Amino acid sequence: MKVAFFAETADGKINRSVYELLAWSRRLAVPEEIAAVVITPSVDEAELRRLASSGARHVFLCEAPSIDRADIPVCAAILRSFCAAYRPDVLLGAASVFGRALFPYAAMQMKTGLTADCTMLETDPETGLLLQTRPAIGGNVMAVIKTPDRKPQMATVRPRSAPEPTPYTGAAGTITRLPLPETPHAFGAPRTVSSARLALGEELADARRIVAVGKGIKREGNIDLARRLADRIGAALGATREVVDRGWLPYSAQIGLSGKTVVPELYIALGISGAVQHLAGMRTAQKIVAVNSDPDAPIFQVADLGIVGDLFEVVPRLIKEFEPKRN
């Protein structure tokens, strides 16, 4: 299977989500059949070399000062030209703001199918088709979708749905330049009128450690207990949708299908039962510790360490355990 992915850039740097797409690509194909497509007005050469040495055997670069990275028709035309020449079986993109605008337009231009906002990608062992899993019906079910009749099979993937790939020990890939096609704006095509970078604080999605609370925390005032644990271990504070809906924490703390997807080194779930919507946003954490009084809570099915007990007894003991040691 030949897999290609669109590598977004910003300010000459390759976005972190690109390496997550590379991780998915390495699950689907051997390195010799993995290609990255970089479309940018400018990019640091070292960024390209890093991408080529991380498992993308073929890096295709379309670089020109005249390229507006937010120009969807131009980027779609370049992708269409690339696919006509390279003929990938699969074309992936990040479900970022730009990816969610570009990929539907590009799929329409190439007359192929697109599955948006995927949380899992696999290969069907019988047909070799891409199995694209995404939430459906308000996140109550996980749908598995195929594109059997057209290629490339296109999908956008939720950022943080996979960790960055492990170091690659093979030979570095090649970097090939693509020509800039003539692409006048099509009538009705989406265009960016203006753009601005948002000034954001530390992103929950980038936190290395997270302490998350669910309805088992019982009331807003009890969240201070979880916050004390988070402060003690240097973690960010997250929450389930129910906690956010009750107004106990802001939406920026919500983890799950309708919130953020996170891939921390450590995820401590306090009073979280483990609804499928929440699990989809955190199950790829490296280590998951769950504290719940219900031994049958679904969260224990994904936890590396499960503690069946009252969180109001367990958490104070954890906080004490992490107290600085005196000489």
Which of 30, 26, 14 lies closest to 96 in space, CA to CA? 14
d(CA 90, CA 4): 6
For the CA atoms of 110, 116, 119, 123, what is the dihedral angle to 10 degrees? -30
User: How would residue 263 be classed by pLDDT, with cut points 50, 70 and 90?
Assistant: confident
Q: Looking at the domain that runs over 204-321, which CATH code has it been given? A: 3.40.50.1220
- Residue 203's pLDDT is what? 66
Asked whether the beta carbons of 54 and 168 are under 8 A apart, the reply is: yes
Helix (H, G, I), strand (E, B) or coil at 1: coil
Which of 53, 56, 35, 42 lies closest to 13 in space, CA to CA? 42
Greater confidence (314 vs 74) lies with 314
- Condensed to tens digits (0 to 9), the pLDDT of residues 75-130 reads 999 999 999 999 999 999 998 888 989 999 999 999 999 999 898 999 999 999 99
Angle at 83 between CA 80 and CA 86, to 5 degrees: 150
Phi-psi region of 202 (alpha: psi -120 to 50; beta: other; left: phi over 0): beta
- Quote the tokens at residue 192: 């960016």
- Identity at 228, one-letter amino acid code: R
- Residue 8's pLDDT is what? 92
Determine the distance from the C-alpha atom of residue 89 to the mean position of all C-alpha atoms in its chain, rounded to a whole number: 21
Helix (H, G, I), strand (E, B) or coil at 120: strand
User: How would residue 179 be classed by pLDDT, with cut points 50, 70 and 90?
Assistant: confident
Question: Regarding the domain with residue range 3-177, which homologous superfamily does it belong to in the CATH classification?
Answer: HUPs (3.40.50.620)
- Condensed to tens digits (0 to 9), the pLDDT of residues 278-304 reads 998 888 888 999 999 999 999 999 999
- Residue 202's pLDDT is what? 46
- Condensed to tens digits (0 to 9), the pLDDT of residues 195-229 reads 544 333 346 877 889 999 999 999 999 999 999 99
- Residue 207's pLDDT is what? 87
d(CA 217, CA 225): 9
User: Which residues of the chain form CATH 3.40.50.1220?
Assistant: 204-321
Task: For 282, list phi and psi in degrees, rounded to 5.
Answer: -145, 0
Mean pLDDT, rounded, for 136-163: 84
Query: Is pLDDT of 192 > 70?
Result: no
Asked whether the beta carbons of 107 and 113 are under 8 A apart, the reply is: yes
User: Which residues of the chain form CATH 3.40.50.620?
Assistant: 3-177
pTM for this entry: 0.69
d(CA 300, CA 107): 39
